[in-house]
Amino acid sequence: MALADLQALENRATMGTYARNPVEFVRGEGTRLWDSEGNEYLDFLAGISVVQIGHCHPALVEAVTEQARRLVHVGNLFYTEPALRLAARLSEVSLGGKVFLSNSGAEAVECALKLARRRRPGGGFVVAEGGFHGRTMGALSATPQEAKQAPFAPLVPGFAAVPREDPEALAAAVSDQTAAVVLEPVQGESGIHPLSEEVLHAAREACDRHGALLIFDEIQCGMGRTGEIWAWQAVGVRPDVMTAAKGLGGGLPIGACVTTPEHADVLQPGDHGSTFAGGPVVAAAANAVLEVVTDAALLASVREQGARLLEGLRGLELDARGRGLMLAFRADDGPGLARRLLLEQRLVVHATGPDTVRLLPPLTVTEAEVDDAVTRLAAALG
Ligand SMILES: *Cc1c(COP(=O)(O)O)cnc(C)c1O
User: What is the distance in angstroms between the CA of the first residue and the CA of the last residue of the chain?
Assistant: 34
Q: How far is CA 54 from its chain centroid?
A: 15
Q: Which residues of 95-131 are buried (b: 16+ CB within 10 A; e: fewer)?
A: bebbbbbbbbbbbbbbbbbbbbbbbbeebbbbbbebb
User: Count of CB atoms within 10 A of residue 363's CB?
Assistant: 29
**Regarding beta strands 213-217 and 320-323, do their DSSP bridges make them parallel or antiparallel, or are they unpaired?**
unpaired
Which protein residue's CA is at the shortest distance from atom 11 of ligand 1? 133
pLDDT value at residue 89: 98
Task: Give the chain's count of helices (H) and strands (E).
Answer: 14, 17
Q: How far is CA 284 from its chain centroid?
A: 19
**Residues classed as catalytic:** 132, 217, 246
Q: Which domains does the chain carry? A: 58-264+272-293 (3.40.640.10)
Binding-site residues, ligand 1, Cβ < 6 A: 104-106, 109, 132-134, 184, 188-189, 217, 219-220, 245-246
- Are 138 and 108 contacting, i.e. CB atoms less than 8 angstroms apart? no
CA 15 – CA 30 distance, rounded (Å)? 31
SS3 257: strand
Render pLDDT for 261-291 as a digit per residue (tens, 0 to 9). 999 999 999 999 999 999 999 999 999 999 9
Render pLDDT for 188-244 as a digit per residue (tens, 0 to 9). 999 999 999 999 999 999 999 999 999 999 999 999 999 999 999 999 999 999 999
- Are 237 and 201 contacting, i.e. CB atoms less than 8 angstroms apart? yes
pLDDT value at residue 290: 98
The closest-lying atom of ligand 1 relative to the alpha carbon of residue 255 is 7
pLDDT value at residue 5: 97
| HSE toward the beta carbon, residue 378, CA cutoff 13 A | 13
pLDDT value at residue 228: 98
Beta carbons within 8 Å of 44's beta carbon, 6+ residues apart: 31, 347, 348, 349, 359, 360, 361, 365, 373
Q: Which residues of the chain have pLDDT under 70?
A: none
If one residue of 132, 183, 215, 242 were mutated to test the ligand 1 pocket, choosing by the most ligand atoms within 8 A of its CB, it would be: 132
Render pLDDT for 139-149 as a digit per residue (tens, 0 to 9). 999 999 999 99
pTM for the whole thing? 0.98
